[in-house]
Amino acid sequence: MFKRNDYKATIVSDEEKGSVVGSRWFENGERATYKITPKEGYIVESVFVNGKKVNCTNNTIIVENVNENIEIVVSYISVKESAAFSNLTKTIIFR
């Protein structure tokens, strides 16, 4: 007899910087897809699923074959901070 397993997704995201849209409940083996929408002036800095960094392509993440509760943690960075860091890493100082 098939037993239904329901798994829950918990999303941690600063709502002042962006939003995450996707289902909160899954059956065993389902695919979880989330769309991340940063607010103006922000970009996605990183996304972690159950403590592991995952790729975020076009502000979308996919978790294949859900078989446990998942926690999604999204971090945002301001566009200004991102540009400043990018410029800093491109600068070489010669002495």
11 in Cβ contact with 74 (< 8 Å): yes
Task: Give me the tens of pLDDT residue by residue for the chain, a chain 95 residues long.
Answer: 445 679 999 999 999 999 999 999 999 999 999 999 999 999 999 999 999 999 999 999 999 999 999 999 999 999 987 765 554 444 445 44
36 in Cβ contact with 60 (< 8 Å): yes
**Cα–Cα distance, 85 to 76 (Å, whole number):** 14
Q: Is this prediction's pTM over 0.85?
A: no
Q: Sign (positive/negative) of CA torsion 67, 8, 6, 58?
A: negative
22 in Cβ contact with 40 (< 8 Å): no
10 in Cβ contact with 46 (< 8 Å): no
Phi and psi at residue 86, in whole multiples of 5°?
A: -60, -45
